[in-house]
Amino acid sequence: MPHTLAEKILLAHSDVADLAPGDLVTVRCDLVMANDVSGPIAFRMMEKMGATKVFDPAKIVMFADHFAPAKDARSADLQRQLKAWSEAHGVTHYGQGRGGIEHTVLVEDGWVVPGMVIAGGDSHACTYGALGAFGSGLGSTDIAACLVFGSFWQMVPATIQVEFTGSKRPFVTGKDLILAVIAELGVGGGTGAVLEFVGPAVPALSIDERLAVANMAVEAGAEAGFFPADEVTAAYLAGRTDRSWQAARSDPGASFARRVRIDLDAVPPLIALPHSPGNVVPVTEAAGQPIDQVYIGNCANGTITDLRQAAAILAGRQVHPRVRAIIVPASQKVYRQALAEGLLDQFVAAGAVVSTPTCGACFGGHMGVLAAGERAVTTTNRNFKGRMGSPGAEVYLANAYVAAAAAVAGEIVEPSAVAEGVPA
């Protein structure tokens, strides 16, 4: 029986002879991840279960990244709990906020390879699909079960195949590709499914761009978003990991719930208006809207690619006097690379603030939350009411070029309006 890539991965991690969309299966985890928000809740659930041991300390990673550096005594205590639990259970893969944001660090440090199943205590675990892995964002109760048993229940999802054709236009990035997909599917269009990204435009997409696309699959309601592994994947992983892996694709004749084609030749820079990631329009339709803050960062759009794009706009220019501009590298490795390339100095010279790697304001935690009545252009992944602070604030989602251009202009503009001579 022909299978999709998602079905192949789940079949390889379960004890059933075959499976199909809608089946309920028990799936083995190759890796379990939790953070300073989801971890302590999972630990309490373990106690209620009466569990005293984890299934395999070597397959568990804990990250202090949401409130790192701790903003108050309560968030400091969450990180203390994470550290104490890790030490008590022999979990040596514990990050104290020095590495960076969980999804970025797992990818860049070689934890993730194609074909893996990763249970993540964070809804954006779908980011691992950039490398062809099945990352499932689970609630803390399910993460507790994964910590103890190394497995979770999964209803086999259908697959929606998204074909990218054509070539990216100037100032268009991976962020625009996934916004175009969400505009086509809607925020609930991927419910009960995974997205599989294929097509002749894919080989030209870097891993950083694929991270941006896979990261927001959940914003379409999907459980995961996959790029089948290819030469780009292999080149990225070379020297980065000693984990074995094999490239796999959906079988010829596999059944897809839906097929969608996105012609990149027709995709301009896009922006998601408040208060939904699906409220997508071309940037030109939002032009002229005054803003108070720009935030460039998060688990999939704080990469070196994003920082280079922001620097291309900000170099030799100044952040508008009424705008706060906050730049957040997604990891310490990205931070140091940006430092070596002189990007951080460019940001500071332009009047922006550079933050230590953190989830921070992306989820309304700290280091850039919004007041009532304020508007922000951000490279983050959600713009629900209250997501980045006050429910009375407005959040616009866009790529790093668009965000940086808004920082300079003090309002939403097309990057080309302020970026004369900037290579797109």
Query: Domain containing 318: what range?
Result: 270-417
Partners of 211 in the β-ladder:
none
> For residue 321, is pLDDT > 90?
yes
Helix (H) / strand (E) element for 179: namely helix 174-185
Average pLDDT in the 125-129 region? 97
For residue 226, is pLDDT > 70? yes
In terms of domains, do 280 and 218 share one? no
* Confidence (pLDDT) at 417: 92
% of the chain exceeding 90 in pLDDT: 93
Give the chain's domain count: 2
In a domain, 244, yes or no: yes
CA dist., res. 283 & res. 273, Å (int): 10
* Reported confidence tier of residue 423, pLDDT bands at 50, 70, 90: low
Q: Are 383 and 274 in contact (CB under 8 A)?
A: yes
pLDDT > 80? residue 419: no
On whether residue 58 sits in a domain, the answer given is yes
Beta bridge partners of 198: 163
The pTM assigned to this predicted structure is 0.96
Residue 424 lies in a domain: no
Rounded average pLDDT over 111-123: 96
**Is the same domain home to 284 and 255?**
no
User: Is pLDDT at 135 greater than 70 in this prediction?
Assistant: yes
State the virtual CA torsion across 197, 193, 131, 148 in degrees, nearest 10.
180
Mean pLDDT of the region 309-329: 97
Let me know whether 175 and 292 are in one domain.
no
Asked whether residue 377 is domain-assigned, the answer is yes
The domain that holds 363 is classified in CATH as 3.30.499.10
Closest CA to 358 of 332, 324, 396, 340: 332
Domain end point (choices 205, 229, 263): 263
Over residues 283-311, mean pLDDT? 97
97 — pLDDT class (breaks 50, 70, 90): low
In this predicted structure, the answer to whether residue 118 has a pLDDT above a threshold of 80 is yes
Q: What tokens does 367 get?
A: 């280091």
In a domain, 423, yes or no: no
Give residue-wise pLDDT tens across range 26-84.
Answer: 999 999 999 999 999 999 999 999 999 999 999 999 999 999 899 999 999 999 999 99
Q: Are residues 79 and 218 in the same domain?
A: yes
Instruction: For 421, list phi and psi in degrees, rounded to 5.
Output: 85, 0
Please tell me the predicted confidence (pLDDT) of residue 300: 85
Same domain, 290 and 312: yes
Are 77 and 177 in a shared domain?
A: yes
Q: Are residues 329 and 231 in the same domain?
A: no
Are 234 and 288 in a shared domain?
A: no
- Convert the pLDDT of each residue in 173-186 to its tens digit: 999 999 999 999 99
Same domain, 289 and 254: no
What mean pLDDT value characterizes the chain?
95
- Residues 220 and 282 grouped into a single domain: no
